[in-house]
Amino acid sequence: MSVDDDTVLKTLAAHRLVPVVVVDGAHQGLALADALVAGGLPVAEITLRTAGGLDAVRAVAQQRPDVVVGAGTVTTADQVDAVVDAGARYIVSPGLSEAVVRRAQHHGVPVLPGVATATEIMTALDLGVSTVKLFPASVVGGPAALKALAAPFGDLRFVPTGGVSAENLPDYLALPPVLAVGGSWMVAKSLVDAGAWDEITRRTADAVALAAPTKES
């Protein structure tokens, strides 16, 4: 693991939340980043689900350097090249692609491939991956499934994503193998499209408070 890998993953672990963002371009990306920071969460996974996703990654990386911006929905090696060039500091994929993992490793950028089975986890470990994205977490069984899948794999860390909400967030964060949790409830596309930045900030602040470790933990 490179120094940057370690730094990025420690940042994700410290905040315990990774907002999964869908925006249409640079303007929305910057406004969204500002809303997240105002809510106390300088982290974002900007997905490539829209044509403007790459522009948003680039804008946030260049103009909001204090935000740890990653690229999500990365499914090809060429996309890895593009998002690294745009300034993404980590890469998230919905599934496990050797080509995506190898290209990210070539660039020295942390990659969180999606897994849903023990076989996929073993393949990720064979590729040298230490942190994976459990996806879609709610569909494959939620916290109970994560606990069962994690049991045989020691030091492997998880970022469960898919179906996570304010209601079940504590259930995931209570599991020791969970590095952080990915979610979109605080950055819903409907709020982004409406320009409801204050509401996004409010939801983000609530999520940050919910994710904060208790004194007992």
- Active-site amino acid positions: 45, 133
What is the spatial distance between Cα 52 and Cα 23, in angstroms, rounded to a whole number? 7
The gap between the terminal CA atoms of the chain, to the nearest Å, is: 27
- Whether residue 40 contacts residue 208, with contact meaning beta carbons closer than 8 Å, is answered with yes
Q: Helices in the chain by DSSP H: which ranges?
A: 3-15, 26-38, 53-63, 77-86, 98-107, 118-126, 137-140, 142-150, 169-173, 189-194, 197-211
Candidates 174, 207, 197, 175; CA nearest to 17 is 207
What is the rounded distance in angstroms from the CA atom of residue 12 to the CA atom of residue 8? 6
To the nearest 10 degrees (0 to 180), the angle between helices 77-86 and 98-107 is 30
| Enclosing H/E stretch for 111 | strand 111-112
